[in-house]
Amino acid sequence: MKVTLIDHMGSDLSVVNAARVSFAKTSAWDMIPDAGEVEGYLKVEDERLIKFLAKHDHWSPFGHASMQFHIKAPVFVARQLVKHQVGLVWNEVSRRYVDTEVEFYVPTEWRLAAEDKKQGSSDETVKYDISSAHQWAKQCYENMLNAGIAPEMARMVLPQSMYTEWYWSGTLYAFARVCNLRCKPDAQVETQMVADQIDVLAKELFPNSWEALRDV
């Protein structure tokens, strides 16, 4: 699974100034001795402001900063993450239009079902070989295409373990909401693998805002 940053807009200072516009004020990066104004270093009062905004759920200033990612993950992961809709937009590759090589996600170990709840898994694992199932699905898909069956129907034989790719864009606040839910220990491991990568990339771009939003 791979998350790649494509683009972003704004900074921690964007969040600060979006909040301060209510009072017709603006701020600037902090002044460092012998260096002058240094991008990326907030003034102490602006750091406090960001923490206040996050703590009291004043979310709109965080909507003025955004990120765009390209993500490659299995279909079953994508179908969980696409449930997050507010503040996010999603465009995914479609096998109605492309017939690129089919790839499958195969875990090195399979987690056993949790005994105390209907969903989730335990820490116990086993080995299990599903290569024959993948081979059959791939061959069946290719045979159907060769027989002239429409790709939009032939794709029905492909399993949820197949990799898909999508562009995912949204506000800083929206992605923080995703990570606050999907980075939790009780989230499915495979969705955590995607959310954890987003978490790292966002922290590099918006260190103050991201820390404040992730602490909520």
- Do both 55 and 87 map to the same domain? yes
pLDDT at 29: 82
**Integer Cα distance of 43 and 40 in angstroms:** 10
- Do both 66 and 46 map to the same domain? yes
pLDDT at 115: 82
Positions marked catalytic: 182
Residue 99 domain-assigned (yes or no) = no
Of the candidates 200, 191, 11, the residue with the CA atom closest to the CA atom of residue 84: 191
pLDDT at 100: 85
Question: Which one is predicted more confidently, 25 or 70?
Answer: 70
Residue 103 domain-assigned (yes or no) = no
Reduced to 3 states (helix: H, G, I; strand: E, B; else coil), residue 3 is: strand
- Do both 22 and 56 map to the same domain? yes
- Do both 170 and 187 map to the same domain? yes
Strand partners, 88: 170
Question: With bands split at pLDDT 50, 70 and 90, how would you rate the model's confidence at 23?
Answer: confident
Task: Give the model confidence (pLDDT) of 34-81 as tens digits.
Answer: 555 556 689 899 999 999 999 999 999 999 999 999 999 999 999 999
- Do both 85 and 171 map to the same domain? yes
- Do both 118 and 189 map to the same domain? no
- Do both 86 and 172 map to the same domain? yes
Residue 101 domain-assigned (yes or no) = no
Strand partners, 49: none
Q: For the chain, give the mean pLDDT.
A: 92
CB 173 within 8 A of CB 156: no
- Do both 83 and 9 map to the same domain? yes
Q: Is the pLDDT of residue 31 over 70?
A: no
pLDDT at 92: 96
Residue 104 domain-assigned (yes or no) = no
- Do both 20 and 86 map to the same domain? yes
CATH of the domain at 205: 3.30.1360.170
- Helical ranges in 127-171 per DSSP H: 131-146, 151-154
Q: Write the CB contacts of 117 (distance below 8 Å, at least 6 apart in sequence).
A: none
Centre a 10 Å sphere on the Cβ of residue 55 and count the other Cβ atoms it contains.
12
- Total tally of structural domains belonging to the chain: 2
Q: Is the pLDDT of residue 169 over 60?
A: yes
Q: Tokens for 138?
A: 């791939």
The residue range of the domain holding 203 is: 2-94+163-214
